Amino acid sequence: MKDNNTLKAYHIRSKKGEPLKLDTKKYTWHIPKHLRSLNIQPGDIVGVRRTQAPILVVEVFREDIEDTGKNYKSVSVIFERAPKKD
């Protein structure tokens, strides 16, 4: 079985002294091979691009890039995991 290689997420916006807000547009990002074994799941907060801008993951799936021909920017780091359900 192949690992998930793509995720959909919302940017997390914040300003000093204000509550966190989610961007209204959902973006699609690529999960590089060295992060796939970490099993990113919905609810995780990850960083993207060189700035490591935080995003909230809402969907994780496998997409064959060869079939779709789409190319996405990559996730760079995992900041926080979603709480586990008992």
Q: What is the DSSP string of the chain?
A: -PPP-EEEEEEEE--TTS--EEEEEEEEEE--HHHHTT---TT-EEEETTTTEEEEEEEEE---HHHH----PBEEEEEEPPPPP-
Domain count, the chain: 1
pLDDT tens, position by position, 66-80: 888 889 999 999 999
pTM of the model: 0.86
Considering the domain boundaries, does residue 22 fall inside one? Answer: yes
Considering the domain boundaries, does residue 86 fall inside one? Answer: no
Considering the domain boundaries, does residue 18 fall inside one? Answer: yes
Considering the domain boundaries, does residue 1 fall inside one? Answer: no
Considering the domain boundaries, does residue 13 fall inside one? Answer: yes
Q: What is the pLDDT of residue 86?
A: 65
pLDDT tens, position by position, 27-72: 999 999 999 999 999 999 999 988 889 999 999 999 988 888 889 9
